[in-house]
Amino acid sequence: MALARPVGVLLAKELRTEFRTRELLATTLVFVLIVLVLFSFTFDPTSVESRRFGPGLLWLALLFASSLMLHPSFTHEHTNDTLLALRLAPIDPVSIIAAKILANFCFLLVAELVLLPIFAALYNLHVLPVLGRLAAVLVLGTLAICIVGTVFAAISSQARMRELLLPLLLLPLLTPALIASAEATAGLFEEQPALAPVWIGVLAAFDTIFLTVTWLFGDYLLEE
């Protein structure tokens, strides 16, 4: 794969920049926590109610958080005009987007790792027995958010009102991913935990389709 090396190098760069400050991770974590606490006031978080609403709330919180945290992935390149430097490199422009998708994917997964125990404790849900299947849903769902979110961050970074624009573009488009992730997660917290293959199928289809679209059309967003 000609893409693998530049993507690896760029991914290392993204991770290094983030882990020097950890700003993005810290703010995302705190934001999701606040949202989860606020949600607990909208209904009585007993275990029956939690099983019904909890998974949807978790995914909504992650969605809102990602619509904020994905925004800097291109705008922070504006500060020193580093996107121009990246574009000048003799690599396929898609690898710049791919690296950013992967980096955001890592950040969001790390955030989820920290949040999951807290979420389970706050909403009184049993995570351990279904951990493997839950991880599969989290990985597929998070990938869906990061693919579309990163591409749309590239779109919104070129417009006015960019902070407001990203959630506006991102949230309606992620409808199928939200439904599938929330439904799949809800199935895991039922009395008899079960993972509906159809929702995994929807998530996998979502990821495949939009990865392909990004691969075909993503590089247009980086030209000047």
Partner 1 sequence: MASAAHVKSMEPSRSAAAQALATIVVALLLFVSVYAAILVAPEERTMGLIQRIFYFHVPFGWSAFIAFFINLVASIAYLRSRAPKWDWLAVSSAEVGVPFVTVMLVTGPIWAHPVWGIWWTWDARLTSTFVLWVLYVCYLLLRTLIDEPERRAVVSAVFAIFAAFDIPLVYFSIWFFRTQHPQPVIGAGGSLDPRMFRVLLVCWGATLALLALLLVQRYRLEAMRWELDHLRLNLDRPGPEPQRFATVGSKGGSI
Least distance to partner 1 from the beta carbon of 83, Å?
A: 14
Question: In whole angstroms, how close is the CB of 177 to partner 1 at the nearest point?
Answer: 8
Q: Say how far residue 176 (Cα) sits from the centre of its chain.
A: 14
Task: Give CA–CA dist 189/193, Å, rounded.
Answer: 6
Mention every residue, 6+ apart, whose C-beta is less than 8 A from residue 218: 93, 94, 97, 151, 154
Closest distance between partner 1 and the C-beta of residue 9, in Å?
A: 25
Measured from the CB of residue 183, what is the shortest distance to partner 1 in angstroms? 8
The DSSP H or E segment spanning 131 is helix 131-156
Q: Note the maximum CA span of the chain.
A: 56
Q: Which residues of this chain interact with partner 1, rule CB under 8 A?
A: 148, 151-152, 155, 158-161, 165, 168-169, 172-173, 175-176, 179-180, 183, 198, 202, 205-206, 209-210, 213, 217-218, 220-221, 223
Closest CA to 203 of 131, 118, 138, 109: 138
CA–CA distance, 139 with 132 (Å, rounded to integer)? 11
Q: Which is nearer to partner 1, 43 or 217 (CB)?
A: 217
The span from the CA of 25 to the CA of 111, in Å, is 7
> Which residue bears the tokens 């290094």?
16
Q: What's the min distance (Å) between Cβ of 67 and partner 1?
A: 13
Nearer to partner 1 by Cβ, of 70 and 148: the residue is 148
Read off the DSSP letter of residue 127. Answer: -
Contact of 125 with 158, CB cutoff 8 Å: no
Give least dist CB 64 to partner 1, A. Answer: 17
Of 34 and 209, nearer to partner 1 (C-beta) is 209
